């Protein structure tokens, strides 16, 4: 069993839709929870990170962590075609990072 599980999709939504992306994990030692966005043929870029259970908002993006359920989510409001990318969740303990397999998202104009 992988440390981090993520539905690979693909996910296809119309422009303006609310998108929900999710990951589950098994390791209680994870301290930080991150979302990366990866465009085709590019390296991943950090979108957001959170530390504690609860919500963190940044513009159209909201990251949610539920440590008791070992479940994290990323919500994208008013999705745009430019949001089309692969979204990877990541978790950190010490210097070690563990990534999900990524969810491929396409936002259709």
Partner 1 sequence: DTAVSQTPKYLVTQMGNDKSIKCEQNLGHDTMYWYKQDSKKFLKIMFSYNNKELIINETVPNRFSPKSPDKAHLNLHINSLELGDSAVYFCASRPTGLAGLPNNEQFFGPGTRLTVL
The site string for partner 1 over 15-54 (x = CB under 8 A, - otherwise) reads -----------------x-x---x--xxxxxx--x-x---
Among 22-30, 64-72, 76-84, 101-109, the segment contacting partner 1 (CB under 8 A): 101-109
89 Cα distance to chain centroid: 4
99 binds partner 1 (CB under 8 A): yes
84 binds partner 1 (CB under 8 A): no
Between 5 and 73, name the residue whose CB sits nearer to partner 1.
5
Q: Does residue number 101 form part of the binding site for partner 1 (CB under 8 A)?
A: yes
């Amino acid at each position: 069993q992988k440390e981090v599980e993520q539905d690979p999709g693909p996910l296809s939504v119309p422009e303006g839709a609310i998108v929900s992306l999710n990951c589950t994990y098994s390791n209680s030692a994870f301290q930080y929870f991150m979302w990366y966005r990866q465009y085709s043929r590019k390296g991943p870029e950090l979108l957001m990170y959170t530390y504690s259970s609860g919500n963190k908002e940044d513009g159209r993006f909201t990251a949610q962590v539920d440590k008791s359920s070992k479940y994290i989510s990323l919500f994208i409001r008013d999705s745009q075609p430019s949001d089309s990318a692969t979204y990877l969740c990541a978790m950190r303990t010490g210097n070690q990072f563990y990534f999900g397999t990524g969810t491929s998202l396409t936002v259709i104009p």
